[in-house]
A and B are shown apart, each in its own frame.
Chain A
Amino acid sequence: DADVTQTPRNRITKTGKRIMLECSQTKGHDRMYWYRQDPGLGLRLIYYSFDVKDINKGEISDGYSVSRQAQAKFSLSLESAIPNQTALYFCATSDPWDRAGELFFGEGSRLTVL
Chain B
Amino acid sequence: DAKTTQPPSMDCAEGRAANLPCNHSTISGNEYVYWYRQIHSQGPQYIIHGLKNNETNEMASLIITEDRKSSTLILPHATLRDTAVYYCIVRANLPISGSARQLTFGSGTQLTVLP
Contact = CB atoms under 8 A, between A and B. Distances in A.
B107 A40 contact: yes
Interface residues of A, number: 29
B107 A106 contact: no
A88 B102 CA distance: 19
- The secondary structure that dominates the B interface is loop
Interface residues on B, range: 20 to 34
Contacts of A92: 43
B41 interface: yes
Contacts of A103: 36, 44, 46, 103
Interface stretch (A41-49, A64-72, A74-82): A41-49
A66 B55 CA distance: 37
Q: Counting chain B CB atoms within 10 Å of each CB, which of A92, A97, A102 scores highest?
A: A102
B107 A41 contact: yes
Contacts of A42: 87, 104-108
A108 to B, nearest CB: 6
A48 B100 contact: yes
Nearest to B108: A42
Given A105-B45, A106-B43, A56 B107 contact: no
A101 interface: yes
Interface of B: 32, 36, 41-46, 49, 87, 91, 93-94, 96, 100, 102-108
Shortest beta-carbon contacts, A-B, top 5: A105-B43, A42-B105, A43-B105, A102-B46, A42-B106
